[in-house]
Chain A
């Protein structure tokens, strides 16, 4: 499969994933681009490109967040020119307001439907941390969890 064909066919789906992960369209596009660029000449050696790219996006997102937290960027510009007119009580608006790590855990759990162990592997954190991050996020959103942990029998 050609790289360009993959981007053409799956680019929009990746952007959607990037949007729920980052919370805004600008960062979503950056994230997809960054990961695709990094793939570079490794492309031909990747068996499952979509899974690979999505995993890389989640990791890159967390990496950016950590870096930004350290740097405390001061050159942020308003990014609301292309966000949508969600209602104030919109659950998505609340999800966007979560800390990036908590949001990433929720996205991987409920959008990507991954188990807590898979999420832990992707984000490089323990399964317990996944559970606690998810628990805090759900509490903030006033969501009643149906199970304590995903992927457990």
Chain B
């Protein structure tokens, strides 16, 4: 017999499964086109900005998404090239609540959610970190602490567990957070980047920028087709002026690499020169993850090696830094943070 909690989980899982790309894909075929014409730009802005939002559930609070099945892959499998990125864990906790991987903390540790509990999974063990009621809009972790945004409040707790404390109350537009030691940062579209140091009073760090991954921020435009123009290191003020390749739209950049669109092609380029321009067919544009990957779910483009690697599944879930699926009573988890750097 199923329970009401199962219904809650099913609804939450379904809601989180809806992919941004799917919504975009529906737009041309809509029945009620009048609405599309009037608001398409806004919704596209939402969809693309959300997809491209640098931090997803990892640092910025996007929910994991189910990716539409793809044709048989051509090329090397991610598992064959990077076996260390693959791990597994139980699919449910002892009470039957499903585990949902939500954040790659580092190569060894994955943050998971089960009901209202956040737990760290590492080396076959789960350790409770915190309980969070309500929707989590954003999550971030450094090596020692976890920060989250829920119900208008940013809270921090040691990753080893303990009592959490409130950092700040923020308005409902805040959608990205970061943490680095005693510094907690957050931002919203047009709202600028704010920080609280050692739990102190919030202060505006940089007006007009959106947080990427600390210490980087960018002037992400609301228009999804507009390009970013600068990437700023907030600790030292180092300001990278982005030089978009001709004809590229929707360019989104990390500190070293950018990805955007030119027609149906994804263009990958360095931030401020065109010396290593790539045309990628199999993976859509997004913020480069860990300065290295474009995560297309079934396909991961590795900028360092200029190779698209495949996952031979027909169904999977994923956020920005994690991809996972269920096999029997286990979850197979691909942790992009566990892919070793090139030697």
Contacts and interface: CB of A to CB of B under 8 A. Distances in A.
Interface in A81-105: 81-82, 84-85, 90-92, 95
A82 B25 contact: yes
B4 A29 contact: no
A32 B3 contact: no
Contacts of A13: 135
Interface string B4-26: 10111111111111101011011
A29 B47 CA distance: 11
A141 B6 CA distance: 10
Nearest to B42: A7
Contact of A12 (B1, B3, B46, B188): B46
- Interface size of B as a range: 35 or more
Among A1, A92, A95, which residue has the most Cβ atoms of chain B within 10 A? Answer: A92
A37 B172 contact: no
B14 A92 contact: yes
A120 interface: no
Contacts of A66: none
A29 B28 CA distance: 12
Contacts, number: 152
A106 interface: yes
Given A9-B189, A50-B172, A141-B2, A95 B14 contact: yes
B173 A106 contact: no
B290 to A, nearest CB: 23
B292 interface: no
Contacts of A138: 4, 7
Nearest to B175: A9
A8 B4 contact: no
Interface of B: 1-4, 6-18, 20, 22-23, 25-27, 29-32, 35-36, 38-39, 42-43, 45-47, 49-50, 62-63, 66, 68-69, 135, 171-175, 188-191, 222, 314-315
Interface of A: 1-2, 4-13, 15-17, 19-20, 25-26, 28-30, 32-34, 36-37, 50, 75-77, 81-82, 84-85, 90-92, 95, 106-107, 110-111, 138, 141-146
